[in-house]
Chains A and B, each alone.
Chain A
């Protein structure tokens, strides 16, 4: 009984409720005529799609910068990479690689400024990150209107100015990872091997990174700043590195997302992109200043599972599509829960 209580306290009641809710959804699926293999397949595809975005949050949480609501900066870098790659006319794997390379360059530039800024405002990162992210999205919206892109698949035809709101990557690199070594079982089940492999590889790299000297230093800064300062770690530098990493991973994440989703969403599209990722990692058990790869995996799986299963089950049972409302309540409820937990205050 005691161990049960400790488990509840450690894991957190909301997380247990969410997990039980997801299990209930999966359990109910066959009885209400929902196609379970297709749902599981959808969940896998979504995990591959969103995994790296969730992963991108780890460095900043570990270094004590909190939840990176400014992930949209990384997303913008990714959008720039994708659009410039298409503009240069690369298709297929080369286009995809070019998009990633260009996005990493932009990610590094944005991350540089963003990291310098966040080092000046220690303790107030989250709110500032949110609004820096929001205002960057808006500045970029103006840029999408006036940047001299020429490729006819991307710009508005007939009299419009600037790029389209959504650009299809069909014919460029749609599903390039999802279809790599894809495992197709029957009609409904598809395992996106490539995307999952890339996600796993990136996770492994992050794991390695956090076992190197610099990675442990970053963790020390987040978990015990006084100790870190005493042992001669340059706190600002570690935080800066983590912000750069997070932004560049975000840029990679959105490109992986686009190849699976099939579209590049410009203008106000990236505005709230950080929130689902943040909710996912928190559902996975991360706190405001501690996150592990396990949190990423569990979080991505639970969150995407809920997103996939809720609409189909609710539609089948109640003939109501409440999934949007449930998504809003679950993800923001989870963030709220994490914010109000008594954490060791980083000073």
Chain B
């Protein structure tokens, strides 16, 4: 029994740590409760979709999809086009999503194929691929748009005549999803429609896991060799997981930006991968296992920390930058921690199974492997 309790603490160590941290930081920051509640509701509507985009690659055994930034780029391209054409409101957002769709599918296919070339190193490959594609994205946005790709609205262009401005205002579509079904409870604005979309995509993920392809994906994630032998097209399944993740990231980025109301052309997408991954991990997910509750808990905890740490830093040593650095440290640190825990576990299990193999205990080794999955 005590070992079960211990396991509970070990399994939820990250969540517990952050709950304690936030419980300390909220009083120090001195921020009022209603403000925090409102912000958390807004940020749940804004970020949850993006974090959900990470779930399928984890199930497919490809780890944290740092390549989701590619989808975010596709989403931003869609938004830039509808802003140029001046399509407003919900139709504008839908059109942006439709434009982002083929770009996301192509980028996801590319990302999945490249990751298939680097099996066992998917994460670092996705991470570098995101940087690489960022270069191409900048090429398109800063040099091709307005010269090769027609942009009608001169207000969007830099003064040199081509290239998109650093900041694109999304006045026409700003918060049109969040305010579609207005609801106010106890003075708090609730983005009902965004929540409905999130519920729908969560349902899709849960449904997808149960389909034949979903089961294949899970099998491929647990043991590539065995599922390949069982006739599962492992490589295609992995590519599909990344394509879905990229498409969801594209839509997620559009939802994210419609809430913010502006695009930072060259930087809005850059940190989205890191923030989403950090949020998911803070919610108690690991490199091999993540669920919808992890997403929700993670977004709430991560953004609470995000909100209170600058003020807490200011009140502690009088510098807002302290909190800013602290929250960046937390984002990076939690990813480092999760990766270390995952690899550590894997290495230990490998050593154990090697030891048992030498001792001739084949069934024990098999069990250890099952645990790893």
Contacts and interface: CB of A to CB of B under 8 A. Distances in A.
Given A126-B124, A161-B319, A333-B132, A328 B138 contact: yes
B39 to A, nearest CB: 23
A325 B128 contact: no
B124 A130 contact: yes
A201 interface: no
Interface in B310-333: 317-319, 321-322, 325-326, 328-329, 332-333
Contact of A121 (B124, B138, B317, B347): B347
Nearest to B325: A141
Contact of B344 (A121, A146, A333): A121
Given A135-B332, A320-B143, A127 B127 contact: yes
B85 interface: no
Interface stretch (A54-62, A219-227, A254-262, A334-342): A334-342
Interface in A103-123: 117, 120-123
A134 B339 CA distance: 13
A98 to B, nearest CB: 28
Given A124-B343, A325-B138, A332-B128, A340 B317 contact: no
Main secondary structure of the interface of A (DSSP, over half): helix
A47 to B, nearest CB: 24
A138 B128 contact: no
B118 interface: yes
Interface in B136-152: 136, 138-139, 142-143
Given A123-B120, A131-B336, A329 B136 contact: yes
Contact of B114 (A146, A332, A336): A336
Interface residues of B, number: 40
B197 interface: no
Contact of A345 (B120, B125, B135): B120
B123 interface: yes
B134 interface: yes
Contacts of A131: 332-333, 335-336, 339
Interface in A42-71: 69
Contacts of B319: 145, 161-162
A127 B274 CA distance: 13
B339 A124 contact: yes
Given A120-B347, A161-B319, A325-B138, A336 B125 contact: yes
A332 B131 contact: yes
Contacts of B335: 131
Given A322-B143, A336-B128, A121 B340 contact: yes
Interface centre among A127, A132, A161, A342 (most CB of B within 10 A): A127
Contact of A126 (B121, B132, B134, B136): B121
10 contacts: A122-B347, A130-B124, A141-B329, A320-B143, A328-B135, A332-B129, A332-B134, A336-B129, A340-B125, A342-B117
Interface of A: 69, 117, 120-124, 126-128, 130-132, 134-135, 137-139, 141-142, 145-146, 161-162, 267, 275, 320, 322, 324-326, 328-329, 332-333, 335-336, 339-340, 342, 345
Given A124-B342, A340-B117, 11 more contacts: A127-B339, A135-B336, A138-B329, A139-B333, A142-B322, A146-B317, A322-B143, A325-B139, A328-B131, A336-B125, A345-B120
